[in-house]
Structure 1
Amino acid sequence: MSASAGAPVALVLRHDPAIGLGNLEPVLRGRGFDVRVVDTPQTDVSQLDALAPDLVVVLGGEEAAYDTDRHPYLADEIELLRSRVAAEAPVFGVCLGAQLIAATLGARVYRGERKEVGWLEVTPTDAGADSPVRHFAGVPTVQWHGDHYDLPEGVELLASSAQYPNQAYRRGDWLLAVQFHPEVDERIHADWLAAWGDELPGYGWSRERMLEIQATEGPRAAAASAALLGEYLDGIAPRRASSPVE
Structure 2
Amino acid sequence: MHDHFGALNLLCYFWHRSNLSEESACPRPARPARPSPFATSPSKTSGSSLLCWRSGYETTLLDAGIDELDADAVAGADLLIVLGGPIGVYDDDRYPFLRSSKAAVAARLDSGGATLGVCLGAQLLAESLGAAVRPTGAVEIGFGPLTLTPEGRESVLAPLDGEPVLHWHGDEFAIPAGAQSLAHTPGFPHQAFAVGRTLGLQFHLEADHRTIERWLIGHAHELHHNGIDPRVIREQARALGPRLETLATRVLTDWLDAVEA
1:39-78 correspondence runs (5 A)? 39-78=63-102
1:121-200 correspondence runs (5 A)? 121-172=145-196, 174-200=197-223
Contact 2:82/2:117 (<8 A) preserved: yes
SS in 2 for 1:75: helix
In structure 2, what is the equivalent of residue 229 of structure 1?
A: 252
Q: Residues of 2 paired with 1:58 and 1:179: CA distance?
A: 12
Moved over 3 A (4+): 17-20, 197-205
SS in 1 for 2:74: coil
Contact 1:139/1:217 (<8 A) preserved: no
Contact 1:24/1:225 (<8 A) preserved: no
SS in 2 for 1:66: coil
Displacement of 1:234 in angstroms is 0.3
In structure 1, what is the equivalent of residue 53 of structure 2?
A: 27
Displacement of 1:187 in angstroms is 4.7
1:36 to 50, 53, 60: 60
Moved more, 6-15 or 38-47: 38-47
2:239 to 206, 216, 226: 216
Contact 1:46/1:76 (<8 A) preserved: no
Letter in 2 for 1:109: V
Larger helix percent: 1
Displacement of 1:198 in angstroms is 4.6
Flag structure 2 segments of 5+ consecutive residues without an equivalent.
Answer: 19-44
Alpha-carbon spacing, 1:188–1:80, altered in 2? closer, same or farther (3 Å): farther
In structure 2, what is the equivalent of residue 242 of structure 1?
A: none
TM-score using structure 2 length? 0.82
Alpha-carbon spacing, 1:192–1:17, altered in 2? closer, same or farther (3 Å): closer
Q: Residues of 1 paired with 2:161 and 2:251: CA distance?
A: 11
Displacement of 1:113 in angstroms is 2.3
Flag structure 1 segments of 5+ consecutive residues without an equivalent.
Answer: 239-246
Q: Residues of 1 paired with 2:160 and 2:224: CA distance?
A: 26
Letter in 2 for 1:114: A
Identity %: 31
Contact 2:17/2:218 (<8 A) preserved: no
Displacement of 1:209 in angstroms is 1.5
Residues matched between the structures, number: 233
Displacement of 1:5 in angstroms is 10
1:71-90 correspondence runs (5 A)? 71-90=95-114
TM-score using structure 1 length? 0.87
